[in-house]
A and B are shown apart, each in its own frame.
Chain A
Amino acid sequence: MNKVLAIIKKDIVTELRTKELFSSMLLFALLIIVVFNFAFGFSVEILNLAAPAMLWIAFIFAGILGLSRSFALEKEGNAIMGMLLTPTDRSLIYAGKMISNTIFVFIVGVITVLMFILFFNYDFVSTLIPMIPIVLLGSIGFVSVGTLFSAMAINTRLREVLLPILLFPIIIPVIVSAVKLSGEVLDGNTIFDASASLKLLIAFDIIFVTACAVTFEYIIDES
């Protein structure tokens, strides 16, 4: 457990010193929302219909940006080698990287929701609070597979380009259920009104955190 915490701490300290990842992810999310706003021509009906989808597209794209940096950073100066040389189980390295990535993506997600509430005039308390568990569950599902694939993509010829190609078809269940749940919340219902989506999202998180932790050791050996 200490080892996992050490990796998380290392990632957070690096991020706090540079702040480059955070600021670029946030800016990107913000820009996507702005671009959508222009694309939809400020029509309120369309915006209301498309709101949950917009939110998650902004969120996922910004997340991809962060994830592709996650292992690129380790690769610079061959820091990953150092991590692999420590007498640690490979799945612990995965856990550490995954949790720190989840923290970043989650925070960016929450701030995106905040900006969203601000721009599109939703009610503050009744929207933000039920959105938090959705963003958390969505982040876990997205990052669980994303961490595995970013470790993979960084070692291929296509590098960062490959990550979204690998990741998007896999995380379709996350996107579908998160959009559905957010839609319920933005319409003023609770997340339990879409219990099928909620179950799907939780099932995805459990299955893929496990599956990725198990398969991670095969990916990391070769780098």
Chain B
Amino acid sequence: MNPSGFVANLIHMIRRILFILAFISIIASVYAAFIYAPTEPKMGHIQRIFYFHMGTVWVATVAFIIVFIASIMYLWKGTRKWDILAYCSAELGVLFLTLTIITGSVWAKPIWGTWWTWDPQLTTTFILWILYIVYLVLRSSAGNDTKKAKYAAVFAIIAFIDLPLVYISARVMRGISPVVFGPGGGGISPEMMNALLINMFACSLLFVVLLLERTDLERMKDAVARLKMS
């Protein structure tokens, strides 16, 4: 838990650098989205929110995949660090997905004329969001630590397996066969692509930094609990 001397310093330094990098890339992503990227001819300025939308949804996806893998690892190995990783990642995933849904709604209002529609992608996203909020509720409701961790891990695995089926059922429900992917499907210019990549990169860095801080906090809580016990 307490790597001494050189290693500790190195880890500390790397995290400091990551933090600074994340900070710089966030500023760069704002610049890229608002100034660097050209205005989309059909949608106008509102399209710029899409860069953040894609960035956050990408991070949320990664976060939930981490939850799934960490949950399997926890059930397999039974070590606390996997549980911490799953929990913190789920929390951040919910946070980023909330941002995705909000930015998506803000974009959809002027473009589609409505805040929300029940198309398969949106429905699945919504269920995904609900599932991981339920995951957090389950954690806060399940008594002691090992029980909490096991229940949460099992629920996370079941929820993750469920998602493709939810997507299929959302399509069955609407009777839609062709997959409509992405907004309008129009071509995007290289500058837009760059702005998108910068945003995804910035969001990813932010996620990594937050995840490191969050897991650290959880470890510290454990340490405090141990100290109180002794």
Contact = CB atoms under 8 A, between A and B. Distances in A.
Interface of A: 145, 148-149, 152, 155-158, 162, 165-166, 169-170, 172-173, 176-177, 180, 196-197, 200, 203-204, 207-208, 211-212, 215, 218-219, 221-222
B153 to A, nearest CB: 7
Contact of A169 (B131, B142, B153): B131
Interface stretch (B34-42, B106-114, B161-169, B198-206): B161-169
A222 B150 contact: yes
A186 to B, nearest CB: 17
Contact of A219 (B130, B141, B154, B162): B154
A166 B154 contact: no
A170 B162 contact: yes
Interface of B: 75, 127, 130-131, 134, 137-138, 141-143, 146-147, 150-151, 153-155, 157-159, 161-162, 165-166, 168-170, 172-173
Task: Tell me the dominant secondary structure on chain A's binding face.
Answer: helix
A158 B139 CA distance: 11
Nearest to A218: B150
B143 A215 contact: no
Contact of B172 (A152, A158, A197): A197
B169 A218 contact: no
A158 B151 CA distance: 14
A152 B151 contact: yes
A177 B175 CA distance: 12
Given A165-B134, A165-B137, A215-B158, A172 B153 contact: no
B162 A218 contact: no
A157 B143 contact: yes
Interface core residue of A173, A200, A204, A208 (most chain B CB under 10 Å) = A173
Contact of A172 (B75, B142, B166): B166
7 contacts: A156-B151, A162-B141, A169-B127, A172-B127, A204-B165, A215-B157, A215-B158
A211 B161 contact: yes
B158 A180 contact: no
A20 B35 CA distance: 68
Pick from A152, A197, A211, A221 the residue with the most CB of B within 10 Å: A152
Contact of B143 (A145, A156, A177, A219): A156
Contact of B169 (A176, A208, A219): A176
Contact of B150 (A158, A200, A211, A219): A219
A177 B169 contact: yes
A152 to B, nearest CB: 5
B148 to A, nearest CB: 9
